[in-house]
């Protein structure tokens, strides 16, 4: 077992500098931006609400004298200088966008815990060798512009920005246009290139599952992220009059989409309840009660921790949809392909050690959700810190967490960042 003596003095000082009340107050202030009934938040990526949240974050950073930079997809970087100003920074962060009916903690907690860690270092007089940066990644949710984890994906070079500029939201707005508006609103930030070196990355997040709460542990040491496949399935038929067109002659896009969804659900059926299968988005055209639908777009989200299984499930989606296209045509577009991720063992050990040194009960666990840390793990040693959330509820207005647990996560984060930034 690790002992308290395993934390260096400056790391402990930074952890002790975490101000639970300040962190909670800022979470509450951010939750006002895009607030919806039921204590929820609707802050879509690259929306006016996102722009407002960015402005507030920049205000807080500038009050501390942190550098502010932004890259071509809008990822926002707040930099606390290090003794070696040109050394690759240690990064932390998460995202500020939310699901359409999302909660007050998913994403924004990781950004504000990072800011809190920087301020704790200031107040403890800690000087690190490397710079430490807090990043707010653009469009982690993909709720408005699929796919998710877009900002980190583009930052590390897994996909070029150009691949996403023509993605449209449910209202038909182009990502490129919304991005231009967002960038124009933060014109004071320094431009930052993609794929700049990163020494290490640690992301704090609510668990979004029930394991920590059930096990009465405060800190989750995340071992990795399950594999994931996303698809857009577009079914094209022909619109017709609901009263006059004989059913046998119709090319009804919804009828065939329903058959495809039912077949995909069969494919993903899993007695062990490990496979995750979700159709979350359906767009029907023209969407009028007395017209046979000419076009349906639906999303498929498939996840499994095992590489061979996610491979097999993902490969079956297109043939299965084709098999259920009768009078209509179908186009299946893969929009995300993430294999299972294992985080760096050294970073996990560091987090576990830090939690123990601070007297916080921890456990190792995998992540069911995907996170920007997945893409950062491709370019640097990466880890994640989970804190409990009530009943594991997330992507829901009722999402909740306690001030004490959130502060505990920020303490472990601050200690880990100082350790990493001095290596």
Which is nearest to 19 in space by CA: 110, 106, 111, 123? 123
Report the distance separating Cα 111 and Cα 191, nearest Å.
20
Residues constituting the chain? 423
* 377 neighbors 224 (Cβ within 8 angstroms): no
How far is it, in rounded angstroms, from Cα 109 to Cα 93?
A: 9
In sequence order, the 6+-apart residues with CB closer than 8 A to the CB of 155 are: 71, 73, 75, 137, 194, 195, 375
> DSSP string covering 327-358, please?
SSEEEEEEEEEE--EE--HHHHHHHHHHHHHT
Backbone torsions φ then ψ of 221, nearest 5 degrees: -95, 110
Residue 195: exposed, middle, or buried by beta-carbon count in 10 A (0-12, 13-18, 19+)? Answer: exposed
Would you say 133 or 207 has its CB closer to a copy of itself? 207
Closer of 10 and 141 to a copy of itself (Cβ)? 141
Nearer to a copy of itself, 206 or 376 (CB): 206
* Tokens encoding 306: 């095992």
**CB atoms < 10 A from the CB of 401, how many?**
23
- Minimum Å gap between C-beta 18 and a copy of itself is 26
């Amino acid at each position: 077992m690790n002992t308290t003596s395993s934390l260096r003095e400056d790391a402990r000082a930074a952890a002790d500098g975490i101000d639970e009340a300040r962190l909670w107050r800022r979470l509450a202030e951010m939750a006002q931006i895009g607030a919806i009934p039921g204590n929820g938040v609707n802050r879509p990526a690259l929306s006016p609400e996102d722009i407002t949240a960015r402005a507030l974050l920049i205000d807080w950073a500038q009050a501390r004298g942190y550098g502010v930079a932004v890259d071509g997809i809008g990822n926002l970087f707040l930099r606390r200088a290090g003794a070696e100003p040109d050394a690759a920074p240690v990064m932390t962060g998460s995202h500020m966008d939310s699901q359409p009916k999302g909660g007050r903690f998913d994403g924004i907690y990781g950004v504000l815990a990072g800011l809190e860690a920087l301020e704790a270092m200031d107040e403890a007089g800690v000087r690190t060798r490397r710079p430490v940066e807090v990043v707010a990644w653009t469009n982690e949710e993909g709720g408005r512009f699929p796919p998710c984890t877009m900002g980190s994906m583009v930052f590390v070079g897994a996909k070029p920005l150009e691949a996403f500029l023509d993605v449209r939201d449910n209202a038909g707005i182009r990502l490129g246009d919304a991005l231009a508006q967002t960038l124009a609103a933060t014109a004071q930030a320094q431009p930052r290139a993609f794929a700049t070196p990163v020494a290490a990355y640690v992301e704090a997040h609510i668990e979004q599952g029930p394991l920590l709460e059930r096990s009465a542990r405060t800190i989750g040491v995340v071992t990795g992220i399950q594999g994931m496949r996303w698809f857009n399935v577009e079914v094209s038929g022909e619109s017709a009059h609901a009263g006059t067109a004989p059913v046998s002659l119709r090319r009804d896009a919804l009828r065939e989409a329903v058959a495809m969804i039912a077949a995909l659900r069969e494919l993903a059926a899993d007695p062990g309840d490990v496979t995750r299968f979700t159709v979350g988005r359906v767009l029907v055209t023209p969407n009028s009660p007395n017209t046979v639908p000419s076009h349906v777009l639906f999303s498929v989200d498939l996840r499994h921790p095992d590489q061979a299984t996610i491979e097999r499930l993902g490969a079956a989606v297109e043939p299965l949809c084709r098999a259920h296209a009768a009078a209509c045509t179908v186009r299946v577009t893969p929009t995300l392909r993430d294999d299972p991720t294992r985080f760096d063992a050294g970073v996990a050990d560091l987090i576990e050690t830090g939690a123990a040194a601070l007297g916080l009960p921890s456990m190792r666990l995998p992540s069911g959700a995907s996170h920007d840390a997945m893409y950062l793990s491709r370019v640097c040693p990466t880890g994640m810190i989970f804190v409990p959330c009530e009943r594991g509820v997330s992507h829901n207005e009722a999402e909740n967490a306690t001030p004490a647990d959130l502060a505990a996560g920020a303490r472990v984060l601050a200690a880990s960042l100082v350790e990493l930034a001095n290596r």
